[in-house]
Structure 1
Amino acid sequence: MSIADSSLVFKIEHIISQQNSIEEKFSQIWASVDSETVNRLFFENQNVDKEYRRLTKENRMAN
């Protein structure tokens, strides 16, 4: 099971195969991932994600 769709998995695999530094790869990967995928990574229960996002916005916190 994957939290990412196949096109994102392919893109990540491509980034990993490049000859860049680990820091550059890290930056490229995080720049490629959308917030919905990040939410699936961090929150097993998507209702918790929605509540977290609401509280973050309500309290003007950086995400």
Structure 2
Amino acid sequence: MPGTLTITPLTAADRCDRCGAAAKVRAVLASGGELLFCQHHANAYNDKLRELQATIEAEPVPAL
């Protein structure tokens, strides 16, 4: 199906594009690119990513 986006789950090998920590969030840009962020940097860039209309996918938070 054209235009369908298939996202693969993040793995231990996925690293934050900003600092190299374990990636917890994937931001898919409208242009088709993607960025991976640790939670800290995802929080820091959240407003800008939303402004760019990025699709933001976060790792599920485990239940306590």
Give the alignment's TM-score, normalised by structure 2. Answer: 0.22
> Whose Rg is larger?
1
Give the alignment's TM-score, normalised by structure 1. Answer: 0.22
| Larger strand percent | 2
